[in-house]
Structure 1
């Protein structure tokens, strides 16, 4: 029996949500009105009866029938998908085919491929033209000649990567790479624009490097990296050369992540017997710098400009919403998210947020407030709505957590990034007073955990039933709340044992004490480095500091560190707005231990501001750290940079206070940090 595109969408949603849905939830998921859904459901009764299935309408919309009957329906939907696509799916496939082709394609060829009329393809091409234009790509349509696209190699790569990312979720990627079976026809077709064997070899190569070189990357960013590298390799094999401005390339090669990008390039050269040029390594640096990570303290310590802007964003949200966002982990989570996010925005890298439409519908007021305050805090940078959506999830997570009592253990596997995982976790805590702890795991970290040691196993990825996971959406609908509540109640009746969550790792019992000892020594080393020198010239003062540090053994090559600090200045302003302070900071292999040093200038000088324009400064703070730092030590270095702008009183202290006063304040605040750190370690045990 033939199944239309919208029927396919509605049936797939019902099959994926066995716990049932409200009519408005189904309408929202299908992107139609409730009235349209009600009309469509009436026409489905006859179709479902042919599969021995029944549509139950109350209290929730569910499909009633045997598992065999549901499997039969799923198979038929999968087989008929190639016959009928939605408008959005057709446009994606059209764009991908045009980007992949070196020659013009006839209109009737595209129409035949998609099983629609030439007029339908013509209308789709008009929409595709607008999308391509946003990437700087021109769509050429000539009668008798065909259809083709014109654009730079960089633009074509970005467009192809974007179109793949929009349809290649963690779930479909997992199916393609590991099982070879794709349930979604559109993702299946799009993936075949790249060689599946190539994408599997790329994934295998990157997986070997991931744990050592970029262990904290999120699933979504890891998949984007695999897609980027696969496209690059295939284009290199075809002789397509990417271009990059040499000045931009030189600045990128100053990035600390250069060795990681070079390691990736060398591994790929060995795997595919190709030569990867410098420009490709440059784009790898951009991709790795723009990747989101699970590291809650970001890639770099001491990002005072971002800290300054982030404080303004949080303050603006507090005033508009009349609430307090005072959780330390919340600030650090936002800092970690925004570090690569702003880099992506500045580099004009495409950002894709699969939850954007749903966030705007479910949380319109919070989204509007976040957008307004972000535009103020980050001006003149304008964050796209996709990024505003991610920020909304972060703020929403705190709001739900603040009104949540805590109480069972739950393992949450979330495929849409750390922000949505936190939102889901907070919704779970809000709805279920029984939940005492939630452990978040990505799809590729799942083998590190034993789900049976958790009371609840909740996932936004639709595993087969043998996994025992409760499948939910990232925003947790009311129907899904009902499903989880039923599960908890049924398990309670069966005397469910409350077991502690188990992480499948060795030697966990020794970690907390060793980390506390190491952190104490790290903080002590920094406090011992606090000195002041006076200079009439900024550069001379910084160079003198480097010389003194080399003489003491704190760094190995003063000239190297000095030039690294100047290179950091070229990447962005270092003056804290309105504070007469500048923060010069870097992490290099020449730095042996953490450093916090003060350079007081006898004559004010002008340097680039962290916000915009220039600022007059009278004092420079030099903060240095070794390249290889654990997450907790990165947290401490980030904590120091936050101290500089934590309050107007504290900023004034660092601007004009004596070195003895600064030492006393740092000593006191470091004691507070260490006490909180030890407390956290005790809780972790």
Structure 2
């Protein structure tokens, strides 16, 4: 039960005057009009009716509160709770919005002023801000002359704003501690948090039970704050249904994931088993859309039907731009990429369900601690995601956190660099560079320069200076080496590198494991990698009238060896292409891919078209396709096959160098690139 400040004062008088109190006395004590008194009593009666209590007006005796002893004790506990709730401006406006959204009839400005212990002028000012926030979500304030204010608009939007207000003003610890106390659906206690009391404990209990107890394994990877959002939204939905506030406007289901809808149906099914609520298909669909905004940490596989290739490209672009502007290469952090991909996929589902009515102090602190990174990310988000409105502060903060976490995992400032001054010919310089790369892998960047170029070199850019001759009067530290880099010189350089403190050296996260990887697993990886490399080729194809017919030419050549039914595979490739653009922006190539039962084995190859074909790029802009990358896999591919093909697909847009390689590289160059990817994958799997 929730009572306003004035309602509590009225109830306190009724509880103290058990034989009755006349209306005139109530008006004088509360300093309100007769009309306001009737309105307050009517409001209280609606609240206490489910508790089998009522207010009666007996002739000559006045108003009296009647009900069982247990019910009256419960109301007394609620009334005696502390009245002194101090709000800041933002909290007061949030509380005001919640009050208006839940109100069954008009609210009077003067009454609201009493409830929040401010002047009517302050409430009027608050309402101006509130009206703007509500308008952004399709709701409006309707002012009835001499009667008050009422919120008008769809139920769906009311719930979205209400759940966000409650979520924003209740911290995770307070929320889950309160849930832990709800051991039965009939708990009668209330929370000390003003906003948490907008939902009856009964519905929080059922929401908690359905999400955490019955479907717990489905939410293992979901963060606490998102669990809080889900449970809050579900409990509020149950609360509104219980008061006969259903969603009547039809909700379209063309954008919801079948898997998420199935999860929503399962949760609502649990609710139906335990309550008598009338849960319509519209209500299930509404809850499905709330679940769509949750990060489930689903595996990102290019062959999955719900894999968002366009978003994958946009995330790569975001990481590339942030890397350029911060001069920190985030592109090497796969964890960052997949975390951002998962987060943004869910964020765009959440973005329309959020109301910026109150800030999260912890997230605001993150934005304050990383001002430059925040500004860069904010600008890059606007540039890349042009079809979405501005990211709310909380979403921006979470994205900043992902990049900040990457810095903690891999504090890369600059690679160890070496300058080699060589007086010999180019052949000797190449041998020297090759031996440095081979025997001293700690050096990640080597520049060979002639002695005659010394006047144009910025020596501060290098961590180590090597020279094949003695340099008289050269003031900086350097080491003389022979042009063939002898074994003892290699040992000396390694010792010097170990002794030097490179504050900007990348922190290695590699852990040596004493137990070697299983031989059969390594053999399986080598076998699949070898088969993919053996069949890889770049083939010229005569372009036909349409893309479909051009694909027919390509797939007919693969029949019997790679595919069993070329026509079926072509249909699936075209369907995937039409469902989501696959062209790489600012290039002339695209990655066509499909995993299905008509493919016999993993396959990757490239086909150069004799004439360009118009298609859409991942940025939704038209482009001319001249090089077609084709990746196929059987429907039941092994983990090894999936990982190796995943390495190729991820590398296509991993960096500008890779994009150039796949667009213009010949067969040898791309073969070498894929070989390198497979070696890295096999090494990584050995470390897991």
The verdict on a shared fold, with TM-score over 0.5 as the criterion, is yes
Q: Is 1:231 aligned to 2:236, yes or no? A: yes
Q: CA deviation at 1:390?
A: 1.9
**Secondary structure at 2:149's aligned position in 1?**
strand
Q: 1:361 aligns with which of 368, 378, 386?
A: 368
Out of 167, 170, 175, the position equivalent to 2:169 is: 167
Normalising by structure 2, report the TM-score: 0.59
Instruction: Write out aligned runs for 1:372-387 (5 A).
Output: 372-379=379-386, 381=388, 382-387=390-395
8 Å CA contact retained: 2:293, 2:349:
yes
> Any idea what the Cα deviations from partners look like across 1:25-52, whole Å, max 9, x if unmatched?
xxxxxxxxxxxxxxxxxxxxxxxxxxxx
Matched, 1:674 2:677: no
Indicate how the Cα distance of structure 1 residues 225 and 147 shifts in structure 2: closer, same or farther if over 3 A, else same. same
Give the deviation of 1:163 after TM superposition.
1.0
Query: Unaligned stretches of 5+ in structure 1?
Result: 1-77, 406-508
The structure-2 alpha-carbon separation of the partners of 1:81 and 1:172, relative to structure 1 and needing over 3 Å to count, comes to: farther
1:538 pairs, out of 547, 550, 570, with 547
Answering whether residue 224 of structure 2 is matched by residue 219 of structure 1, we say yes
Q: Identify the match of residue 138 of structure 2 among 136, 147, 152.
A: 136
Q: 1:669 to 1:90 in 2, by over 3 A?
A: same
From the superposition, tell whether residues 636 and 235 of structure 1 become closer, same or farther in structure 2 (CA, over 3 Å).
Answer: farther
Deviations 1:532-565 (A, max 9, x none): 8967333456689899999889899986x87776
| TM-score normalized with structure 1 length | 0.59
Aligned equivalents of 1:194, 1:211: Cα separation in 2 = 22
In structure 2, relative to structure 1, the CA distance for the partners of 1:330 and 1:114 (3 Å cut) is same
Of 93, 96, 100 in structure 2, the residue corresponding to residue 94 of structure 1 is 96
Q: Which runs of 5+ in 2 are unaligned?
A: 1-79, 414-513
Pick the aligned partner of 2:377 from 370, 373, 379.
370
Indicate yes or no: 2:197 matched with 1:192.
Answer: yes
In the other structure, the counterpart of 1:154 is 156
Tell me which of 195, 204, 207 is aligned to 2:209: 204
1:507-656 correspondence to structure 2 within 5 Å: 520=525, 527=532, 536=544, 537-539=546-548, 568-569=576-577, 572-584=580-592, 603-621=611-629, 639-655=647-663
User: What is the CA distance between 1:143 and its match in structure 2?
Assistant: 3.7
Are the structure 2 counterparts of residues 556 and 517 from structure 1 closer, same or farther at C-alpha, using a change threshold of 3 Å? farther
> In structure 1, how many angstroms separate the alpha carbons of the residues matched to 2:226 and 2:564?
34
What is the CA–CA distance in structure 1 between the aligned matches of 2:610 and 2:82, rounded to whole Å? 77
SS of the residue corresponding to residue 163 of structure 1 reads helix
1:341 Cα deviation after fit = 2.5
The 2-side partners of 1:256 and 1:587 are apart by 19
- How many Å separate the matches in 1 of 2:566 and 2:174? 49
Matched, 1:333 2:342: no
What is the match of residue 292 of structure 2? 289
Query: Cα offset for 1:159?
Result: 1.1
Write 1 or 2 for the structure with the bigger share of helix: 1
Aligned equivalents of 1:607 and 1:81: distance in 2? 65
Partner Cα separation in structure 2 for residue 273 and residue 350 of structure 1? 31
Mapping 1:97-116, distance limit 5 Å = 97-116=99-118
| Superposed displacement of residue 147, structure 1 | 1.4
Deviations 1:440-459 (A, max 9, x none): xxxxxxxxxxxxxxxxxxxx
Q: 1:651 to 1:177 in 2, by over 3 A?
A: same
SS of the aligned residue for 2:614 comes to strand
Is 2:331 the partner of 1:323?
no
Q: How far off its partner does 1:130 sit?
A: 2.4
1:566–1:209 CA distance, 2 compared to 1 (3 A): farther
Shift of 1:263: 3.5
Whether the aligned pair in 2 keeps the contact of 1:168 and 1:187 (CA below 8 Å) is: no
Quote the offset at 1:637 in angstroms.
6.2
Q: 1-side partners of 2:98 and 2:106: how far apart?
A: 13
Query: What residue in structure 2 maps to residue 396 of structure 1?
Result: 404
User: Is the 2:606–2:629 contact (alpha carbons within 8 Å) kept by the matching residues of 1?
Assistant: yes
Asked if 2 retains the 8 angstrom alpha-carbon contact of 1:99 and 1:149, the reply is: yes
- Aligned equivalents of 1:404, 1:602: Cα separation in 2: 44
Indicate if the aligned counterparts of 1:140 and 1:150 stay in contact, CA closer than 8 A: yes
- The change in CA–CA distance for 1:280 and 1:370 in structure 2 (over 3 A counts) is same
Seen in structure 2, the aligned counterparts of structure 1 residues 147 and 551 have a Cα distance that, compared at 3 Å, is farther
Secondary structure, aligned partner of 1:188: coil
**Which residue in 2 is equivalent to 1:252?**
256
Pairwise CA RMSD of aligned residues? 4.8
Please give the alpha-carbon distance, in whole angstroms, between the structure 1 residues aligned to 2:649 and 2:641.
13
CA distance in 2: counterparts of 1:550 and 1:205, whole angstroms: 50
* 2-structure distance, mates of 1:131, 1:512: 58
